[in-house]
Every structure is written in C-alpha cells, then in structure tokens.
C-alpha cells in the first residue's frame, strides 16, 4: 500500500504549520521519497531529534504505507 506525497506533506504540515516542505518521489512508485523539512521548531534541536519529530508526525506510517523516506531537516536561516 503506497502513500502519496500529498498525504506525507499534510501529516508533516499538521505537526509543523510553519514548515517549508519539499517532497520528491524517488522511484515514481509512491513508496520511496526524499523530503526536506525546514521549520523553526527544529532550532536548537539535534538532527537526530529533528528526524524523530518528523517520524512522529507521520503517525506510524513509516515502515508501513511509507516504505522509505530520505529526510533532511533544518531550522530556517
């Protein structure tokens, strides 16, 4: 079961309303994505914790409906 990019973006946006999100479907199969998430919520937070925050926003879909997500996170410049 695949997850469309729009659903991934909506889940992340609900947790980080200020986020600038870019999602790329790496294989054209709605199963392997790369995402960049830039949010003020990440300021002063370790990269590992930032990724954990995004995975939490995906509400358990990581490893299920969403097979692979290459993730880059940052606070705005």
Give tens-digit pLDDT for 39-73.
999 999 999 999 999 999 998 887 777 778 999 99
> Is the Cβ–Cβ distance between 33 and 24 less than 8 Å?
yes
Boundaries of every domain in the chain:
5-74
> Is the Cβ–Cβ distance between 30 and 5 less than 8 Å?
yes
Instruction: Quote the CA–CA distance of 18 and 3 in Å, as a whole number.
Output: 23
Q: What is the mean pLDDT of the chain?
A: 92
Q: Mean pLDDT throughout 26-48?
A: 93
pLDDT at 32: 87
Q: Residue 38 in 3-state DSSP?
A: strand
Rounded to whole angstroms, what are the CA distances from 67 to 28, 43, 76?
13, 28, 28
* Class in CATH terms, 5-74: alpha beta
pLDDT at 1: 61
Q: Mean pLDDT throughout 7-11?
A: 95
> Is the Cβ–Cβ distance between 14 and 58 less than 8 Å?
no
């Amino acid at each position: 079961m695949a997850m469309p990019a729009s659903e991934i973006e909506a889940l992340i946006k609900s947790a980080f309303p200020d986020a600038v999100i870019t999602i790329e479907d790496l294989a054209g199969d709605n199963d392997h994505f790369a995402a960049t998430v830039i949010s003020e919520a990440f300021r002063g937070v370790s990269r590992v914790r930032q990724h954990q925050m995004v995975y939490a926003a995906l509400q358990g879909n990581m490893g299920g409906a969403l097979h692979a997500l290459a993730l880059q996170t940052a606070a705005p410049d």
